[in-house]
Amino acid sequence: MPMIAPEKILKDAQSLGYYNQQYLHLSVNYTSLDTAGNKISRKQFLQLFASGKYLPVRLVTSDSSVCYRLYPVRENMDAGTVATLRYYSTTAYNDYKREGEVYPAFDFKDVTGRVYNAATTKGKILVLKFWFIHCTTCVKEMPALNQVVQKYTTHPEIEFLSFAFDTKEQLVNFLKQHPFRYAVIPVPESYPTAMKVNSFPTHMIVNPEGKIARIVNSPADLDRSLAEIIAPANK
């Protein structure tokens, strides 16, 4: 059965936004079902979602696993809800399509002078955050991200890097009031655009082969995704 009735989720853009934040986690592993309740691939599921004609509704499962089923959306939704649904659906599908894409080589220094490039990060799992100082959500999530870093301190193969398009001086002053356990790297404002980042914050996980493994937008999804990625290596 649905965790929340589709009609309540699509009541308005605000309700849809709350549902997206709290329950719609399409970057982690889940069982995907079509409108008839049949299992389909993640690719098929996200393609249908991106059509704007369906809403993934999280189901209550007996084993607490994550499962979503597509429900057709009504045709008379208000424009704000339609636009919000379209944004979430296209973002989810576009992020999925980037999985397996080679992340371009970079050569930057963090605010302490440490160098990060192909040589210094070779064989690492890179956890990347794109942000800037005046992004409220970017700053608000930092304590939760610090907890994620703390959780993986016994995993030297994971490197946490953050790219901010603020100056080194601005970032050093900011960090005096807002401790952040990622490496903080000032980059040109054009860099996120070059990396096809369209919203902030955005988080990417790059595997040891240098390919994008996941793109997520919350600390909780980042934590889940990291656990899923490193689990095979720990078996």
**For range 141-155, the mean pLDDT:** 97
Would you say residue 24 has pLDDT above 70? yes
pLDDT in the model for residue 217: 86
* pLDDT-derived band at 230, boundaries 50, 70, 90: confident
d(CA 41, CA 70): 12
Would you say residue 34 has pLDDT above 70? yes
Write down all domains in the chain, each with its CATH number in brackets: 6-97 (no CATH), 108-234 (3.40.30.10)
Would you say residue 231 has pLDDT above 80? no
What percent of the chain has pLDDT above 70? 98
Do 190 and 130 contact (CB within 8 A), yes or no? Answer: no
**For range 201-209, the mean pLDDT:** 96
DSSP 60-102: P-TT---EEEEEEPPTT--HHHHHHHHHHHHHHHHHHHTTTPB
- Taking only the tens place, the pLDDT of each residue in 171-181 is 999 999 999 99
Q: Which tops the pLDDT comparison, 74 or 160?
A: 160
**For range 93-100, the mean pLDDT:** 96
Residues 6+ apart with CB under 8 A from 159: 116, 121, 124, 125, 126, 127, 183
- SS3 of the chain: helix, strand, coil, percent, to 5: 35, 20, 40
Residues 6+ apart with CB under 8 A from 38: none
SS3 125: strand
pLDDT in the model for residue 73: 94
Between vectors from CA 74 to CA 69 and to CA 78, what angle results, nearest 5°? Answer: 120
pLDDT in the model for residue 72: 96
SS3 42: helix
**For range 117-146, the mean pLDDT:** 97
Would you say residue 158 has pLDDT above 80? yes
Would you say residue 37 has pLDDT above 80? yes
pLDDT in the model for residue 75: 84
Of the candidates 43, 41, 22, the one whose C-alpha atom is nearest the C-alpha of residue 31 is: 41
What percent of the chain has pLDDT above 90? 89
pLDDT in the model for residue 195: 96
